[in-house]
Amino acid sequence: MRSLLLRFLVVPLLLASGSAVASAQSRREIERAIGAVKPALVRILVAGVEYQQGREEKSESAGSGVIVRPEGYVVTNHHVAGWAKRLVVTLADRTEVEADLVGTDPLTDISVLKLRPRPQGPYPFARWGDSSKLRVGDPVLAMGSPLALTQSVTQGIVSNTAMVMPDLLGRVDLSLDGEDVGSMVLWLGHDAKIQPGNSGGPLVNLAGEVVGINELEYGLSGAIPSNLARKVADSLIADGRVVRADLGLRVQPLLKSLGREKGALVSRVVKGSPAAQAGLLPGDILLSIGGTETNVRFPEQVPPFNGFVASLPVGQTVEVAFERGGKVQRAKIAPVERESRLVRPLAIKRIGLVVQDLTRSEAQALGRQNAEGAKVQSVSPGGVAGSLKPQLREGDIVVAVGNQPVRNSKELREILEATVQPEKMPLVLALTFERGSEQIVSVAKVERLDGQDTSLEARKAYLGVSTQVLVPELAAVLGVEGRKGFRVTAVASGSPAEKAGLKVGDLILAVDDQPLEASRPEDAEELTETIRQYDIGAEVELKIWRQGLQTVKATLGASPTSPRELRRHRDEDFEFTVRDLTVQDRDGKRLGGVQGVLVEDVASGGWAALGKLSAGDVILSVNGQAVADIDGFRQAMADQKARKSKFVVLRVLRGTDEMFIEMEADWSASQ
């Protein structure tokens, strides 16, 4: 049920309608507030990534943001832009500007982008307001791009200045990339209507100041207070990250059975942490840190406590006071820098494996002495990694390839890229990994990388027709009731059948006086099998029905190359496969003498898929360079890679239409 109630606003949801601002509200005030912020309001189009099935998949989404500095710094949500590969921002005047991700903080769900410089100079920007001055009932405006539409404004009132997720329905998961957003954020609840696409947009007071960043909906709309969002954004702009202190302890609200109103109940102490070294234990009542009282009686007091701890100077000793068994004790404690839970996976395309580095806390939880190795995030069932025996699983930690130790994900990729090379096929790949207390060696024999069997087929005699079985019902309709055989449905260009004068609609009844017995759909291969019994070059006499019985002589040719035998090229940068055209392709698509290559497969979530390339398209040119065959295509793509072309434009034939497909390039990911 909870999954239906709560949504970050880049996914479909149904929202409660916003209440109208009191009728006495000054229209002029509203217009001034809108005028102050709307020029800085932006829509963000994101080409983001996620990792599954052993590969990196791209997807498109949209959110909102607000420019907060004239240099073009934009504040939005981490769940909007934190995993972006490409960012295109639409300004209030509808112009589009590319942007770069400056930094992101999943703990508070804040990201900062920077717009590329523009000839017009500085960007319009909005000013921050003081969210601590908001009171319940204050009018507010929610601004953004709902459903990826143009920038819009709704109005409402502040409903709650310290909103937390209730425990009434059980634990509500507000985690982003391993971080509990609710542990640091007290949301501003309001009833201004917001929709998917509003994520990252500003909540504005009637002074025209940004007092929050809209994030989610849970009955009420929820915004991250501006005082927190601004602090995080300033850190990201200055350093690209947020530095926080950590004591290695967790607290919860005081239990009613304790019969007290002051202090915070220590619920967890991390092994080896500063708190553990200072002697704190679960069950202690924390009274103060550095002379500041630590009172956590209600859930709403947990985020401020966590924020206070995070703000302590890293490495600077402070005194903590705590109570145990009715006695007050004191200890010195030196905060350490809090480790980020955000670890970006690494896709190893060559073997179909996604891995990521271990964090110190993960290594500690596993009882490991260090964080070396690469943790398996996902495996492609059809890739080299998927063929390893025993099979790799999510959570396994790869520690060696053959006799080479692996310290991290990047090193694993480098070793595998050097080991698994086409010219080294076949080879035996051995990976050592840890699973719980076990250390296992997994092995696979690698025959080829692309998994394609291009071995040549034996050539057989070939007539060059497509047919349908002359079932009794069809024979009756055609006026040849009782006859058996095949009706010609297509004649291949340049084939023996075409040279012999066979036409669509002819009925083939016998081959060299041997009657054909086909009368059921399952007899569909009889004619083909009969022809294959002859030698290539043999002359056969076909008895056909064309407005009466006739005899046609045909000299059989060699069967054309099958699609399986054709040369292929897999473009790993854009994730699609092409092959040469067959005679059947040319006839089926009525290509005539058109030169090009056929798109055989487009991986979902790849750059080609985002550009709307489709299987079955015939590629005619690459950035204006004509493509005649696989060799030409491979060279054209290599040229674009060497030039680091920002866009690769394919002219394609789709059905009877010609069109241009524009693919954005990410050469930095090339391996």
Residues 332 and 424 in one domain: no
Residue in 230, 211, 214 with CA at minimum distance from that of residue 222:
214
Residue in 378, 304, 365 with CA at minimum distance from that of residue 339:
365
Q: Check the CA dihedral 24-27-32-38 and report its sign.
A: positive
451 domain-assigned: no
What are φ and ψ of residue 209, in 5° steps?
A: -115, 150
- Listed residues 525, 558, 591: the one ending a domain: 558
Residues 249 and 234 in one domain: no
517 contact partners, CB below 8 Å, separation of at least 6: 484, 523, 526
Residues 200 and 133 in one domain: yes
Distance CA 479, CA 23 (A): 82
C-alpha of 90 from chain center: 22
Give the active site residues: 79, 109, 199
Neighbours of 448 (CB within 10 A): 12
> Do 624 and 595 form a contact (C-beta atoms < 8 A)?
no
Residues making up the chain, counted from first to last: 671
HEC string of 211-229 equals EEEEEEEECEEEEEEHHHH
157 domain-assigned: yes
Residues 551 and 428 in one domain: no
**If you search the block for the tokens 């699983």, which residue do you land on?**
393
Residues 520 and 373 in one domain: no
184 domain-assigned: yes
What confidence score (pLDDT) does residue 453 get? 47
Distance CA 291, CA 5 (A): 41
The beta strands (E) that lie in 449-590 are given as 461-462, 465-469, 486-491, 507-511, 514-515, 539-545, 549-555, 557-558, 568-571, 576-579
The two tokens of residue 652 are: 């394609």
The CA angle 669-72-114, to the nearest 5 degrees, is 20
**The one-letter amino acid at 561:** T
What confidence score (pLDDT) does residue 22 get? 43
Residues 72 and 184 in one domain: yes
What confidence score (pLDDT) does residue 20 get? 46
Q: H or E element: which one contains 396?
A: none
What string of DSSP letters covers 37-103?
Answer: HGGGEEEEEEEEEEEETTEEEEEEEEEEEEE-STT-EEEE-HHHHTTEEEEEEE-TTS-EEEEEEEE
CATH of the domain at 503: 2.30.42.10
Secondary structure (3-state) at 110 = strand
Query: b/e map of 619-651 (b: 16 or more CB within 10 Å)?
Result: bbbbeeeebebbebbbebbeebeeeebeebbbb
Residues 523 and 424 in one domain: no
Secondary structure (3-state) at 497 = helix
Distance CA 337, CA 457 (A): 64
Query: b/e map of 45-81 (b: 16 or more CB within 10 Å)?
Result: bbbbbebebbbbbbeebbbbbbbbbeebbbbbbbbbb
455 domain-assigned: no
Residue in 572, 630, 569 with CA at minimum distance from that of residue 596:
630
What confidence score (pLDDT) does residue 604 get? 83
Residues 638 and 592 in one domain: yes
Q: What is the DSSP letter of 426?
A: S
Residues 522 and 591 in one domain: no
Q: Which residues of the chain have pLDDT under 70?
A: 1-25, 168-173, 449-458, 562-565, 668-671
467 domain-assigned: yes
453 domain-assigned: no
452 domain-assigned: no
456 domain-assigned: no
Residues 438 and 468 in one domain: no
pTM: 0.75
The two tokens of residue 598 are: 């056929």
What are φ and ψ of residue 79, in 5° steps?
A: -70, -10
What confidence score (pLDDT) does residue 15 get? 33
The two tokens of residue 221 are: 């709309």
What confidence score (pLDDT) does residue 14 get? 32
Residues 358 and 251 in one domain: no
Q: Check the CA dihedral 468-472-477-478 and report its sign.
A: positive
> Do 490 and 468 form a contact (C-beta atoms < 8 A)?
no
Residues 553 and 570 in one domain: no
* Residue 136 vs residues 90, 133, 159, 280: alpha-carbon distances, Å: 33, 10, 5, 39
- The number of domains in the chain is 5
- Listed residues 558, 585, 610: the one ending a domain: 558
- Listed residues 193, 217, 239: the one ending a domain: 239
Residue-range definition of the domain harbouring residue 39:
2-239
> Do 108 and 235 form a contact (C-beta atoms < 8 A)?
no
* Residue 286 vs residues 268, 310, 323: alpha-carbon distances, Å: 12, 16, 6
The beta strands (E) that lie in 606-646 are given as 618-622, 625-626
Secondary structure (3-state) at 562 = coil
